[in-house]
Amino acid sequence: MAETLLSTLAKSAGNKIGGALAGWALDSIFGSSATPTDELKAQLDGLQNQMTDLQTQVHSLDAKLDDSLKKLMTQADRNTYDEVAAQANTDAAELADYQIQLDSWLKRAPGTAVDGSQSSELQTMRSTLGVIIQHINLAMTGATGSRGLIAIYRNVIQDQTPYPTDRFYTSDFTTPMSDMLDYYESLTVQAFNMLAEVNHLSWTTGGTPFAANDAVVQTYANLVPTQLAHWSQLATGGVGRLPEGVVADTTTGLMWSRSRLTLAGSAYFCWTQCNWSASVLPAPATVIDGLTGWTIPSYAQFAALTPGLGDKAFAFLRANGFQWQQESVTPKDAYGQHPAIVAPAYWTSGDTMIGFLGGSLHLYDQSYLLYPLWQWFPGPGVVAVRAIH
């Protein structure tokens, strides 16, 4: 979300939208043009709609976050959170007031001169908007020796999600964390958008000139994305919002399909579907869990999940969100039976496979499929892997 907002709304010095407006809304209002073109009017309307949409989004995200805080936090947790968030809440109210002021200015005719009260308001915005961005960042990351909002909220979510989050992440954790980040990211982008507008503008009031300060705009254009990336790292290890059905491994930088794959509603075991070959498995363009770029894992990628764990390997994966083995009824074997999967096995790239016989990870070549064991167990199954980013 943050990247979309920044690319859509935030402007650094010298970066223009184009056309008669040239990318700066206040310039078009308080500039020299007294005869606006239809193109200029249309661009002004578009920018005003963007600002209004962002403010609406901020309100919606605020309400959503407040609802989550009520559901997830004890009163003691909420008191701690609210204390740290107090300054950010004050800043949010100030941003809302500034947005109302900007909206009123955008309704004026292009070429309007800046009067004394408008000049005073512009100067106030110049002096406070950068401070607001810094306040929000401090609230999120915490002062030296104290927890910020990210750490407070993260601890609450960790206590209520079914899997640990030291290394592996699932949507059970990343969804509420990302919802929380969305609100404060939107506030920050809103503050930056206003900062860019008021510092890019130059005006004269009562014979006193006020020069543009594009250096300030550029400073915050560089700072804000860095701050947001840091928040993401603190909140979710940089993984961001995950779709349902995947596990992200921050150690290897890989994302795994959380459960064994299903195609056309059937569990994807290769006893009947693959004709003893992994060559018909999903191609990188196949959409799995809403994403493309998936491949069949290599043995090395499987092994990197559980180094040194021995017979605890499969139990470790289960405890960290992987749900690969069949939970209930399995596909029929060659004898029309539905045996339970005692030793789950999965294809690897190159038509080999891995298995978890005895809980340990083992590599087998394709000829292992001909062993009598596989007359009684369906397999191997299929999981998929892709890079997180």
Alpha helices of 32-108 — where are they, by DSSP H? Answer: 38-72, 75-106
User: Which range in 25-34, 287-296, 309-318, 321-330 is most confidently predicted, on average pLDDT?
Assistant: 309-318
Bridge pairing between strands 203-205 and 208-210 = antiparallel
> Is there a cis peptide before residue 339, judged by omega within 30 degrees of 0?
no
pTM more than 0.85: no
> Domains of the chain: which residue ranges?
2-242, 247-387
In tens, the pLDDT along 207-238 reads 899 998 888 888 888 899 899 999 999 999 98
In sequence order, the 6+-apart residues with CB closer than 8 A to the CB of 60 are none
Higher pLDDT, 111 or 338: 111
In tens, the pLDDT along 344-389 reads 777 788 777 888 878 888 887 765 554 545 444 555 677 888 999 8
In tens, the pLDDT along 141-164 reads 999 999 999 999 999 999 888 887
How far apart CA 276 and CA 27 sit, in angstroms, is: 68
Task: Identify the pLDDT of residue 233.
Answer: 92
In sequence order, the 6+-apart residues with CB closer than 8 A to the CB of 246 are 170, 171, 255, 256, 257, 258, 289, 291
Residue 25 has pLDDT above 70, yes or no: no
